[in-house]
Amino acid sequence: MKILITGAAGFIGMTTALRLLARGDEVVGLDNLNDYYDVTLKENRLKRLTSHANFRFVKMDVADREGMAQLFTAEKFDRVIHLAAQAGVRYSLQNPHAYIDSNVVGFTNILEGCRHAQVQHLVYASSSSVYGGNTKMPFSEHDSVDHPVSLYAATKKANELMAHTYSHLYRLPTTGLRFFTVYGPWGRPDMALFLFTKAILDGRPIDVFNYGQMQRDFTFVDDIVEGVIRVLDRVAVSNPSYDAVLADPATSNAPYRVFNIGNNNPVPLLDFIACIEDALGKKAEKNLLPLQDGDVPATYANTDALNEWVGFVPGTSIEQGIGRFVAWYRDYYKM
């Protein structure tokens, strides 16, 4: 197939592209290479892709309405994996417009491109952040997500609503994947694992929010990518037993699906830090701080629906995943 991956210079995008190229698909990777974090890291990810004959890179912002329309018209993609977004909960408190431009305007351009080009299936990144103030654990796709606690979360909820509209009006098959704290080699420098590893190796204290009383459903990137590709290959369809009176948020009478994609095994933050210490052979000095605005104390994915849909069962333990990240980090930064 010919597949567009937006956010191809991101670590989920790069890993997904490598897997698709390995199985023989043609991949067009799109990214704006913005400076939200180290551009050199993004460029080095791209270098791993550009050596493949079936890969082509397009530097463009998804918010570029005319450019995106031209790309879809020219390329005739079979399927689209939309991962490009302004990420980060805390940054959304500082720069809200970046989230509207990328996550709302950009997503509109993706939907329009898919509609006019008659794309077979759009798979897009949502987020566990949509669960916001929910306290019922584990988080289920069948629960309401109407109380976001950050603008980032609100834009991801908006993406799901927008996708449903296009699935309903234009019969565009769409599948949203609510990612739960993805980590691994080539990961984002603003994420906890990267920040903690760097600080511990530098001999600096690490900031531990909510005084360490946090849990996250950390999910290794290879497990995530396996799920993404399985979902891509199974096109969303309408739910024949959908009941409009009960209105299950996860399905529809349109070709629309939303799934959690996580490890289904929340890890206490202090245990996560202990795993990093073990992998590095060095103890962390902890700076205990209160919960940050926009953050939630715990995430926990119920992944039964995704398992039933595509047989998704994550297989990487936190010890294995952190070990692989630390090995990559030491090699990449020569430490």
Beta-bridged to residue 288, according to DSSP, are: 208
> Where are the alpha helices (H) located in the chain, listed in sequence order?
11-22, 39-50, 65-75, 91-94, 96-99, 106-117, 151-170, 192-202, 221-233, 269-280, 304-310, 318-332
DSSP state of 244: T
Check if 124 is active-site: no
Output the CA–CA distances (angstroms, integers) from residue 3 to 29, 54, 75, 120, 229, in the order listed. Answer: 9, 10, 10, 10, 11
- Check if the beta carbon of residue 46 is closer than 8 Å to that of residue 8: yes
Angle of helix 318-332 relative to helix 192-202, nearest 10 degrees, comes to: 60
Active-site hit among 99, 131, 152, 166: 152
Going by C-beta distance under 8 Å and a sequence separation of 6 or more, which residues neighbour residue 94?
none
| CA separation for the pair 187, 287 (Å, rounded) | 23
Catalytic residues: 152
